Amino acid sequence: MLARRFSEARRCLTALVSQAYATLYRDIPNVSLPQTFTFPEVEAASDPLFSRLKSTYENPKDLANLLKVVKTGKQLQPDHIKYTMKKLAEHTEIEELQSLIDLWNFKGFAKDVVPYNYLLASYFQLPDLEKGAFQALELWKEIQSKGIAPNAESYEALIFGLSKAGHHDQALNLFNEMRQKQIKPSRDTFKIILYHLTHALRNDEAVAAYNALKADYGEADAVATRILITGYAHKGDVENVLSLLNQGTPTPELWSLFIDAHTQSSASEDVLIQLKQKFYDLGILRDVNVLSGFLNFYGRVGDTENAFAVLDVFKNEGLVPLAYAYKSLLSHLSKKGDVKRAKALFSQMRDQNVIDQDSCLIIGEVLANNGDVETWVDILGDMGARNIPIRISEYHVTLSALLLGGEIEAARGVLEMMRNNNIHPTSKTYLLFVKHYTQSGEMKEAAAVLDEMGRDSVDPEVDIYVTLMLGYMQKGDIKSAAPLVKYLSTGDRLEKYVKE
């Protein structure tokens, strides 16, 4: 039974892969950031070749024939290639896009960044975002080495993609470069930058970006303001949250950010009582956003009695808590080791359809620590059924659960599956195996993991060496531990490890 269910988990892990970074911060109210860059339509003059291209793509959308028409067409013009590349980019046809850049150069058309923009954006549609980001950055260097000036679309395609891949600092550097070159970012680009700065609690830089948005467009729209308010709330900056709220007519969802600000600032229960009275007077105390704010507060401070009392209010009112508030309580129960109530709460979240990657990871780590492979496999299957992407973190939970249960062969199978799915193992991945072997006293197998890491071109982090050293010392093998002690004593390696 367990073997069959593990097989189902393998299928789910294979099908769903994502490098999205996780946060327990709440979702920003009414904010949906663009995930891909959308290019403007190519407007070409009405000529026989353009008409053929258009009819070929639209009926029956045959990309092979489209390529044939553009490559063999007479009186080929740059806009014909641009139109074709836009269609290819929509389907992530990397090789074909590269071939049309070659055709552009072969025809001797004037240097133009637009063909490269299509390829830039397409790299970030690859399943392996890390590989896509690398190839896009290499192409960016090539564009600059050829003396081709990037335009607004070039920068924005790269900013959107790097943000999606989690390279937020590089995206910010490009945004600043745009501003320095007096290339005006779109509102969407401003929002992406604001989002990442506020989530990194870099609020001074976020305010500068917010002011730049106002300078470029005359005013900041409601979405940008919500993002900034959320940033202040995450940092517990009650004063600035209230200042921005007072500039408009706050909705209950924005007032709930005021509760979040107090949560982050470690407000007392007396302050919370005052807030409840304020929201009662406003007639919004039983609003789902406001109640979620209070649930988040109690979850964060570990007041489970009041947290479950708020859940009872939700139930009586026929309301469903927002995911971030649920996760706050789930995280507390998990850290406390209250497995029974954590599993029950997660089950309730599943029934109410508010689970996501982060909540699955929170409960997964609890299950892994208790060797509960069967329940975790069931959750993986549910993630697959709900189309919830699976990241390397979920692979690590799977490995932890299997290794704790002594299922080394099954764990090896998951590791191989990671490689096959282009989920590159990291030092943390191999640390799980090193810990398992050292705890089992299998030091030969533990040391062999270093060779395996070398074959996978993964550099061991300090915790790998520390774990090996402690394993040897526990077995009384001082001779084998000595080189590791010497290595760790060099420079500040051990000091950094202790600080981390």
pLDDT digits (tens, 9 = 90+) for 387-437: 888 888 899 999 999 998 899 999 999 999 888 887 889 999 999 999 999
Place of tokens 């026929």: 318
φ, ψ for residue 31, nearest 5 deg: -125, 120
User: Scanning the structure block, which residue is given the tokens 């570990």?
Assistant: 302
- Residues with Cβ within 8 Å of 395's Cβ and at least 6 positions away in sequence, in order, are 13, 414, 418, 423, 429
**Angle formed by the axes of helices 168-180 and 152-164, to 10°?**
160
Residues 231, 225: Cα–Cα separation, whole Å: 10
Q: Is the pLDDT of residue 22 over 50?
A: no
Specify the pTM: 0.71
User: Which pLDDT tens digit goes with each residue over 260-299?
Assistant: 999 988 888 889 899 999 999 999 999 999 999 999 999 9
Please write the tens of the pLDDT for every residue from 79-138: 888 888 888 888 888 999 999 999 999 999 999 999 999 999 999 888 888 888 999 999
Statement: residue 151 has pLDDT above 90:
yes
User: For the purposes of burial, counting CB atoms within 10 Å of the CB of 168, is it exposed (0-12), middle (13-18) or buried (19 or more)?
Assistant: buried
